[in-house]
Structure formats: C-alpha cells, structure tokens
Amino acid sequence: MVKKICGAVGAAGMGFSQAREMDGAEGNRPQKPAINLKFSDVLIQFSTMAFDPSLSVLVVDDYATMVRIIRNLLRQLGFVDIDDASDGASGLTMMRHKRYGLVISDWNMEPMTGFEFLREVRSDPALSETPFIMVTAESKTENVIAARKAGVNNYIVKPFNAQTLKAKIEAVFATANEPTAA
C-alpha cells in the first residue's frame, strides 16, 4: 500500500496535507482523509485555556529528574519561560530578582522545605500574590491542610501527568480571575 500526499500549505493557514491511501494492485480504493489541523485551530485551543502560557514559571525541587519531568510537562502545555531552583532558599533568591507568574514547588526539600519556602513567599509583600502550587509524594491530610492555611493555591500528589498539571494550573488561574464580592 502506498500513501500519496495531496495538497499544500494554503494561504488561509498552515494546514497539514491530506493523506490518501491507494493500493496499486487493486486500483483506487475509497479515499480516507487524514486529520486536517490548521495552525489557527491550535491557537484557538490555547486561547480557551484559563492561563497564559507566556507566564514565567519557577520550578523548585531538589531532585533533578523531577525538575526535568515538570519542565517537560510545562512545555507540553505551551510554557517556554521556565526556570528552576534546587531548594527553597535558591527559589526565594530567584523570585526576588525576577517576577514569576507561577511557582511549582516540591514539599520535601533540604535545607529549606517547600512548606517553609511557601511561608516565606507569602510573608514577603512583593511576592505574596504569586500563584503557588505544591507538589508532593505524600497525600497526608494534615500536609494539605497546613499548605492551604499557609496560602498554597493548589496541591498535586505525585505521580501526575500533563492533564493533571494543566487542570491544577487552570484551577489556580480560574480562582484568581473570579470577581470578588463588593
């Protein structure tokens, strides 16, 4: 079986060509168009998200493999401006030198834990409004409650995938964008 590619990029957008299957031995079979996705369709998908993927994101985790995983998941969601720190103290220093639209931090780190990092961020008037998502391998109710009381915007239990991360980020920004009662 041979696949014949028909069509080209059109003036209306960056469309993918349609693929049609033909069997040389049996003549022309019914044509099966492939997915025809336009660049504008992708833009529409991003425009319906509750967050802006152009935001600067700071990932704070002392485990390099987890930093790499979170970076890759964020890239899958369209984020490109992603920095990382290996502990809370380094993250705090970075936040004081650059404004971040979102922080994603591990709970279990040394020497400054993610919980201590969160409390420091919330106590600094210049940083206190930064959206903050805590990531942890533990789903202890007391940890979730403590993080909520300290001002975390959302909480993710490992392992997680891009869909989970996207849902948590959207929830953070949907809550941030809700109108407040007068």
Do 40 and 60 belong together in one domain?
A: no
pLDDT in tens, the chain (182 residues): 333 333 333 333 333 333 333 334 444 444 434 444 443 343 334 434 567 889 999 999 999 999 999 999 999 999 999 999 999 999 999 999 999 999 999 999 999 999 999 999 999 999 999 999 999 998 888 988 999 999 999 999 999 999 999 999 999 998 766 554 44
Do 74 and 90 belong together in one domain?
A: yes
Do 86 and 166 belong together in one domain?
A: yes
Do 8 and 70 belong together in one domain?
A: no
Residue 181 maps to a domain? no
Residue 182 maps to a domain? no
In sequence order, what are the residues at sequence separation of 6 or more whose Cβ sits closer than 8 angstroms to the Cβ of residue 172? 51, 102, 131, 133, 153, 154
The pair phi, psi for residue 166, each rounded to 5°, is -60, -45
Q: Specify the pLDDT at position 36.
A: 42
Looking at the structure of the chain, the number of domains it has is 2
Residues 110, 89 contacting (CB under 8 angstroms): no
Do 149 and 95 belong together in one domain?
A: yes
Q: Tell me the residue range of the domain where 165 lies.
A: 49-176
Do 53 and 138 belong together in one domain?
A: yes
3-state secondary structure of 105: strand
Structure tokens at 87: 């502990």
- CA distances, 2 to each of 23, 31, 162 (Å): 6, 12, 35
Q: Which of 112, 149, 88, 111 is nearest to 103 (CA)?
A: 88
Structure tokens at 134: 């805590």
Residue 124 maps to a domain? yes
Q: Specify the pLDDT at position 32.
A: 39
